[in-house]
Structure 1
């Protein structure tokens, strides 16, 4: 697939590291705490077949500016940063696609800045805190794999774990979020390497406890494509169904043989759904 082009963009809100690839209609993609580099991202790669993708490192990620104040890591402040990036790039509008916590940004973006977007794509996400009230979520103590997931996370974050052992533990953790774990190496076979911004994770773990934008979803006025795996254990399907019911101009597509990664687990179908969605809005796509 080739490497992504790196750029350090100076905006009115600071400097942000972005990676771009391919051509076509501009599409912004980011994630709450991922740190991207020239090798790209599995989710973002999905859209390079049809769009010029702008993969953004947020504050505290990569070479983007640090946060001067903690609140700059919040969901709303991050959307203001994305708006500054869009303006600096010279786009009157662009699309946004987000997976998991990236999808949460898509919701906030649509609520406050629908006029800056042509559409949003929300994959495996939720409009409110997703663990406390859903036993289908692996972060809920009632989930059968809760203890195993917690043990894996604790081990991965341990200071005495070797790099090789950490890779093995991360693979096992990811397998818990696949409909067919045996296909892990088939799905994650590209030379893509990224890590996580610990400062952003710490802030997110606090903010998510009071996260609930369900009552504001009706303010999203742009076309919204919601996609979710039937067996998603991170953001269970009930939350995608809830978003579909509350976002006026939205469409929900459920992938019957997917867990948290439908863009890999059912890649062909995922691409077909996305292409059909954007062609409804632009026949020339």
Structure 2
């Protein structure tokens, strides 16, 4: 597999992806939906794995559906992922999904088990909708309590609230940059490390609705017990959007899964605790 950036037309839609590293293949699906892939570059894994970083359809340099910003369901993302694997000639890679990418990864592992060597569900959950939203609100309230003296706090909370009314790419990017401190365990204490991400992260507005304008909700709690694919679940102790409750639930639901809770991380443990994150993934693959 050639190192570098590639594009291919699959199912009539341009697919862009990036290949780095060497070893067993691991396909990486970022979150959002609609967040540019670059935040999820994992250089600590590249000496051990051939990392294929996907720019999901509708995002970044990949093509858009005729129904954009609608129609980007888990099923459609999974179909794009399967087409990419067929194009690459990769029979059974590892699949690592972060945040919304974790929803895609667990869907893919359930529906294409024979095409997955193992799945890493990172900063994800088994369910979306009101229950997930209420848990996120509790986590945000705890984040606000821990940072009550910060003059920047109102701006971050306003950006979090604005995500409910996004309608274009510029708004998505502005909201991402505004809310980012809430997604770290200690953003302001480590701003010298993470500030550049806040300045450069980009997003595409994806509605979360199917082509009939129905929300593409997730509830895999009744089906994950039948998952036969080896699974690693990684969560951050201070993750506001997919907190440790969901990591524990995924672990309890998936037979034989491994659980790693990063005690000093929020939603971006690969940046906050990169050594432990990489060690956990490599141990999972080699084990």
- Report the TM-score when normalising by structure 1: 0.80
Picking from 175, 193, 202, the partner of 1:195 is 202
Q: Structure 1 residues 218 and 188, CA, compared in 2 at 3 Å: closer, same or farther?
A: farther
Counterpart position of 2:148: none
Displacement of 1:84 in angstroms is 0.5
Q: How big is each residue's C-alpha offset from its partner over 1:217-246, in whole Å with a ceiling of 9 and x where there is no partner?
A: 123211100011112111121111111111
Quote the RMSD (CA, aligned, Å).
3.4
Partners of 1:97 and 1:103 within 8 A in 2: yes
Counterpart position of 1:50: 48
Q: How big is each residue's C-alpha offset from its partner over 1:104-142, in whole Å with a ceiling of 9 and x where there is no partner?
A: 111111110111010111111101016635654148886
For 1:58-137, what aligned pairs fall within 5 Å after superposition?
Answer: 58-69=56-67, 72-129=71-128, 132=131, 135-137=134-136
> Are residues 1:174 and 2:180 paired?
yes
Q: How big is each residue's C-alpha offset from its partner over 1:152-179, in whole Å with a ceiling of 9 and x where there is no partner?
A: 24679899xx99xx87x75552111221
Q: How big is each residue's C-alpha offset from its partner over 1:67-115, in whole Å with a ceiling of 9 and x where there is no partner?
A: 1346741001110110000001111111111111111111111110111
Counterpart position of 1:34: 35
Q: Which runs of 5+ in 1 are unaligned?
A: 281-285
- Report the TM-score when normalising by structure 2: 0.79
How many residue pairs are counted as aligned between the two chains?
A: 267
> Are residues 1:226 and 2:224 paired?
no
Q: Structure 1 residues 229 and 63, CA, compared in 2 at 3 Å: closer, same or farther?
A: closer
| Counterpart Cα distance in 2 of 1:127 and 1:120 | 14
Q: Which runs of 5+ in 2 are unaligned?
A: 146-152
